Amino acid sequence: MTDLICQNGSILSVLTSFVMILMVLIPAPLLAGQGTSDLVVGEIEIIRNNIFSQAETDSTVGPLSLVRNGMNGLHINTREYVVRRELLFSEGETFRPERLAETERNLRELGFLNNISVTAVDTTQDGRVKVRVEVRDSWSLKTTLTWTRAAAGETRWNISLSEVNFLGHAVTLGAGIGADENSSFHSFWFRKRRITNVGLVLGVDYSKREDGFFRNLFLSRPFYALGDKWTVETRAYDSQADVRFYLSNGGPSGVDPTSQASLYARIPRQVTGLKLGTLIRLSDRDEGRIWRLGAGLDIKDTEYQFVYTSNFFLSDGREVDLGYLTEPNQPVARDQGVQVYPHLWLNTKGRNWSKARFILQYGPVEDIPMDLSIDFKTGPAGPAMGSTTGFGGSIWRTEIIATKWWQLGSGHFKLQGWGVAQTGASANRYHRLNVQTGWLASHGAERSPWLTRITGEAGHGSNLTGESAFTLGLNNGLRTLDFDGMAGDRLVRWNVEQGKAMPWEALGFFQMGFAAFYSGGVAHWDDEDRGLSDTRHEMGLGVRLGPTRSANALISKLDISWALDGSRGPVFTAATRGFF
């Protein structure tokens, strides 16, 4: 094992260094949860409000009044038992203010409640604290109608109907039809929380596509509270579809190493997998940093369909023999087959949170974890474990996600890194690393501020298979490109946006805003004759929409943009995105 780490230390050192820099240079405040020994929780009052209050319905007339009263009448409010079972305190136990704050965060995380407050409202002479839990329901029937057209003419569309709080019981049911750049599809999904006394969550996903299918079943017991002792997760999945397998313009299939356009073939691939994992809390339930340790097992069988033909049409219209991808020492040959990956699992996070608005959503209160969080997995994945992937010898796999937020001036600054690396013999090695950062600030009125967003991302990979390449385009950062206009094992992109949220709600349901933005970026393969000098630049204007009474609070963006080199524009796009 020592020889393996020494031989391949360069990749692991990148991951280790990233974690150590964060741990050493970033203070992680620890909030001590201090209970008050002479106070106990008394009466717990639950108040559930309609989507629109009585005052809001009484103050409107005409069509708007009809809409508001109609939504209140059609919607079934969340059942009291659903709210009560999420409480992290009960009558008679020691009163701890931090558990009220955590309960409030958990209720927001459900996604179908709004205007949530969990507060102590009175204390009796015998030391019993009355707690009031007040929530406002959101419109939980989500109707989605999206249509997106890329610069080159490719379109995506989707129509779906989902209920995320079916009959007020916190059950999710959904179905939809649509088409992406590869094929049309129809899909179904189901979620049910706390189906047993131990709080298991059951989920089912099914999608039928022209080019295959996707099936997913999971049964898990999540951490419902920071102080929970254990979690367990199980997942089984099976998929078959054409994947966009990206190729280098400087490789055997390319004809122009200087070309900026992504080069890809659609190759059928089937993946079947099983995931098992468990974590146990090691640290104190109520105080200090939270440390969890456990283990997991991932088994995945990957098969690229080169059985019937090795000739494929590429995105530039040529028909090419891609049989060389299955030859020894190629990434496809390395990853094809069964991989068995038992691993040690470490998770840590803090207890310091900040409330904010206009970060990833457009107006609702959001909870930002301010302490460093790390999720780390590492273990063997070679033939000794039963794997048939790779080219023999010892193989070690490591995965990591690390996130840290800071309060910076009038906004929040985020740094997040995630990556996967495999070490061993030269042909078995690969890595894929990402770092994303951003400063998201608001100035002025709380409900209608000026919004400044400065974001960036960098990615670096080596010996990647084509479907794991970094892509840049409408899917990921630049509106004047195709969905995946650039691709490779190198990526740099950034965005600067200045916006203004309007103080009114359109139809009493959406908060609107306007923005001007500039974006730039480049993605390429290391063996292509390109680099940062080929960065693409664009600018544009857009409308921002954020549902204020809906379970879906993601920002919708309607933009018009121009490429600054004059190659494209104006380009109209509609998309729902988060950080960028």
pLDDT per position as a tens digit, 45-84: 999 999 988 888 888 888 888 888 888 888 899 999 999 9
**CATH classification at residue 409:** 2.40.160
Residues 14, 109 within the same domain: no
Which residue stretches of 420-524 are H helix?
none
Please report the pLDDT score of residue 577 as a whole number.
63
Residues 122, 238 within the same domain: no
pLDDT per position as a tens digit, 286-333: 889 999 999 999 999 999 987 667 889 999 999 999 989 988 888 998
Q: Summarize the confidence of residues 528-547 as an average pLDDT.
A: 91
What are the phi and psi torsion angles at 141 (to 5°)? -85, 110
Domain end, chosen from 107, 137, 167, is at: 137
Q: Summarize the confidence of residues 424-433 as an average pLDDT.
A: 93
Residues 124, 227 within the same domain: no
pLDDT per position as a tens digit, 5-49: 343 444 445 444 544 444 444 443 333 344 445 899 999 999 999
Q: Read off the pLDDT band of 553 (50, 70, 90).
A: low
Q: Read off the pLDDT band of 502 (50, 70, 90).
A: very high
Residues 87, 109 within the same domain: yes
In the predicted model, is pLDDT for residue 3 greater than 60? Answer: no
Task: Decide if 95 contacts 39 (C-beta within 8 A).
Answer: yes
Please report the pLDDT score of residue 37 as a whole number.
58
Q: Give the whole-number percent of the chain exceeding pLDDT 90.
A: 64
Specify if 154 maps to a domain: no
Specify if 549 maps to a domain: yes
Instruction: Tell me how many domains the chain contains.
Output: 2
Which residues, at least 6 apart from 216, have a Cβ–Cβ distance to it below 8 Å? 203, 204, 205, 206, 235, 236, 237, 238
Please report the pLDDT score of residue 531 as a whole number.
86
Could you tell me the sign of the dihedral formed by the alpha carbons of 486, 489, 492, 497, in that order?
positive
Domain end, chosen from 137, 168, 191, is at: 137
How far apart, in whole angstroms, are the C-alpha atoms of residue 314 and residue 312? 6
How far apart, in whole angstroms, are the C-alpha atoms of residue 268 and residue 338? 17
Q: Summarize the confidence of residues 439-460 as an average pLDDT.
A: 94
Please report the pLDDT score of residue 578 as a whole number.
61
The domain of 89 spans 36-137
Specify if 148 maps to a domain: no
Residues 356, 485 within the same domain: yes
Please report the pLDDT score of residue 223 as a whole number.
95
How far apart, in whole angstroms, are the C-alpha atoms of residue 255 and residue 546? 45
Residues 406, 507 within the same domain: yes
Please report the pLDDT score of residue 543 as a whole number.
93
How far apart, in whole angstroms, are the C-alpha atoms of residue 443 and residue 429? 47
Greater confidence (578 vs 272) lies with: 272
How far apart, in whole angstroms, are the C-alpha atoms of residue 74 and residue 449? 33
**For the residues of 219-277, what is the DSSP string, one character each?**
EEE--SSTT--EEEEEEEEEEEEEEEEEE-TTSTT-S-TT--S-EEEEEEEEEEEEEEE
In the predicted model, is pLDDT for residue 341 greater than 50? Answer: yes
- Whole-number mean pLDDT of the chain? 88
In the predicted model, is pLDDT for residue 89 greater than 90? Answer: yes
Q: Read off the pLDDT band of 562 (50, 70, 90).
A: very high
Please report the pLDDT score of residue 9 as a whole number.
45
pLDDT per position as a tens digit, 215-268: 999 999 999 999 999 999 999 999 999 999 999 999 999 999 999 999 999 999
Q: Summarize the confidence of residues 81-89 as an average pLDDT.
A: 95
Which residues, at least 6 apart from 104, have a Cβ–Cβ distance to it below 8 Å? 116, 117, 118
Specify if 504 maps to a domain: yes
How far apart, in whole angstroms, are the C-alpha atoms of residue 2 and residue 377? 18
Cis peptide leading into residue 342 (ω within 30°): no
How far apart, in whole angstroms, are the C-alpha atoms of residue 347 and residue 371? 13
Specify if 59 maps to a domain: yes
Residue 564 CB neighbour total at 10 angstroms: 16
Domain end, chosen from 110, 137, 164, is at: 137
Residues 414, 472 within the same domain: yes
Task: Decide if 576 contacts 146 (C-beta within 8 A).
Answer: yes
Q: Read off the pLDDT band of 552 (50, 70, 90).
A: low
Tokens 């047993």 — which residue? 196
Residues 23, 48 within the same domain: no
pLDDT per position as a tens digit, 450-463: 999 999 999 999 99
**CATH classification at residue 46:** 3.10.20.310
Specify if 194 maps to a domain: no
Task: Decide if 356 contacts 410 (C-beta within 8 A).
Answer: no
Task: Decide if 18 contacts 417 (C-beta within 8 A).
Answer: yes
Specify if 229 maps to a domain: yes
In the predicted model, is pLDDT for residue 120 greater than 90? Answer: yes
Could you tell me the sign of the dihedral formed by the alpha carbons of 67, 70, 72, 77, in that order?
negative
| 336 alpha carbon, distance to own chain's centre | 27
Q: Which of 498, 404, 415, 514 is nearest to 456 (CA)?
A: 415
How far apart, in whole angstroms, are the C-alpha atoms of residue 439 and residue 441? 6
Q: Which of 217, 82, 196 is nearest to 140 (CA)?
A: 82
How far apart, in whole angstroms, are the C-alpha atoms of residue 265 and residue 487? 13
In the predicted model, is pLDDT for residue 342 greater than 70? Answer: yes
Which residues, at least 6 apart from 23, have a Cβ–Cβ distance to it below 8 Å? 372
Task: Decide if 322 contacts 276 (C-beta within 8 A).
Answer: no
Residues 7, 133 within the same domain: no
Query: Taking the model in full, what pTM does it have?
Result: 0.87
Residues 405, 447 within the same domain: yes
Task: Decide if 207 contacts 178 (C-beta within 8 A).
Answer: no
Specify if 14 maps to a domain: yes
Residues 68, 131 within the same domain: yes
Tokens 């974590």 — which residue? 279
Please report the pLDDT score of residue 40 as a whole number.
93
Please report the pLDDT score of residue 7 as a whole number.
38
Residues 7, 44 within the same domain: no
